[in-house]
Structure 1
Amino acid sequence: MPAGAVLAVFAVGLLAGLLSGLVGVGGGVLMVPFLYFFYARPGWSGIAPAPDVATVAAHATSLFVIIPTSLRGAWAYHRRGLVVWRAVWPIGLAAAGAAALASRFAVQVEPRWLRLVFALFLLWNAVHVLRAPRETAKDDAAPRPPRLSPPVTLGTGAAVGVFSALLGVGGGLVAIPLLMHGVGIRLRSVAATSLAIIMLTSLGGALAYMLAAPDAAVRPGWSVGYVDLGVAAALAAGTVLSVGVGAALNRRMNPRTLSVVFAVIFAALGLQLLIANV
């Protein structure tokens, strides 16, 4: 890749890692649309995969990067005792299995439809982050034990895993509301627990994409299945560097201001994708 492209990929990784640590998502909501743009401009990126391979590669590479990103973020939260591990294992393992199965379906879907669904997902998320509930003293005064029955954990994991594999995100934007309202995780532990679940989910999806056989290599010598290892390395260098900063800022910055910033970013990306693919 040209030096300018490497720096751009690294910068996007920094932003994705910051977002990941801050709100408990994998960062795929930023990485996937960037990779759509990146692979569509071979003159700038130096990479020219076939169009049908490029869309799936964007999702697969994003999932691969989310593995070290979420691991680093979950560890930062774990040191503060905020990860609810007894919820992580059943939900995360169910999500990993569902993601591995769903990734087989994703490679057969028309790429344009995947991009349209992702655009709608971004627009929905722009509204969702503005409506996110605020933590209050009442939330932590008498926390209820989480609901961890098999139907709850398996259902939550299946929803997170399918969503993650089809759209190339870690699944945190589905996991967060389900953890709050379905499982009953207290608000201050939701981001931490979500990141730990994402770690397992993205592992299942990424491995399935790596074992799949695309019609043509994403980048000969630099890809395994649909995962572009060269781009993934540049992204991960940024995400791993900044995800700890995001986790630290989680308890210090004004959440309302951050919600507005992220809503604007998601809405802009979603509208651009929607207009380009309708």
Structure 2
Amino acid sequence: MSSETVAARVDARTAELATNLAALLQRVDAACLAAGRAADSVRLLPVTKFFPAEDVAILYRLGRREFGESREQEATAKVAALPNLVRQSAEGVRQSTEDGRHSAGDDGYSAQGDEGLPDVQWHMIGRLQRNKAKVVARWAHTVHSVDSERLATALDAGARAALDAGERTAPVRVLLQVSLDEDPSRGGVAPAELLALAAHVAASEGLRLSGLMAIPPLGAESDAAFARLATLHTMVLAEHPGATELSAGMSGDLESAIEHGSTCVRVGTALMGARPITSA
């Protein structure tokens, strides 16, 4: 494939993602306005699972610095690949600037090269197995899916090891995944066990209790599900005032989630498009 063809594909994908991103940010702003909330009280978390690291690099160029992944092996590979992809993009911008075709300042980012990208925050949003916790603790800024003391203990051990080794500089932020239907196959801590898990995480040296996450039950009415989540969040906040984050809402229900207090909406399809066939 010629370099011109590759460049054309990158340009087309950049335009597609930029258009989708702008539309999503407008939706978030409108939802915040309708809920009487400040626009900056809700963060948009691009969910890049199943999509190539090249797409993450494009989103970085578009100003995004937080990315959500759900599979440890895929995420670990992207964490390693992104700095070089961003550096290569920067070199391309410099070259095209010399050719008089683009302004480097228009891209709004600076490459970090092999030193990594300290401004990037990776989020683990999928179910996490205990045997993967040590690896995830090396790169995850936030884990949204902690739902048991055993998982929290494994993640804490991995985080403390990473801190001791200089692989991270702060504890792993943890969101407790709450089950709103108490179906064990879908993950999540039962509401009756939520406060005990919150206390366990809060006492863990390598973790920082940051809030809650939930996914509405299959077929459930989203308003009712998010209202229940908001009630549970209020209960946790009474004992842990620092647990202010509420990760709720996706492509189809972000407006309802924002109405009920979400501070982070996790958006995949509406931003990235349909899942690539090769990942099915």
TM class, shorter-chain normalised? Answer: under 0.3
With the length of structure 1 as denominator, give the TM-score of the two structures.
0.27
With structure 2 as the length reference, what TM-score do the two structures score?
Answer: 0.27
Greater per-residue helix proportion = 1
Considering only CA atoms, is the larger Rg found in Structure 1 or Structure 2? 2
Higher relative contact order (CA 8 A, sep 6+): 1
The structure with more strand, counted as a fraction of residues: 2
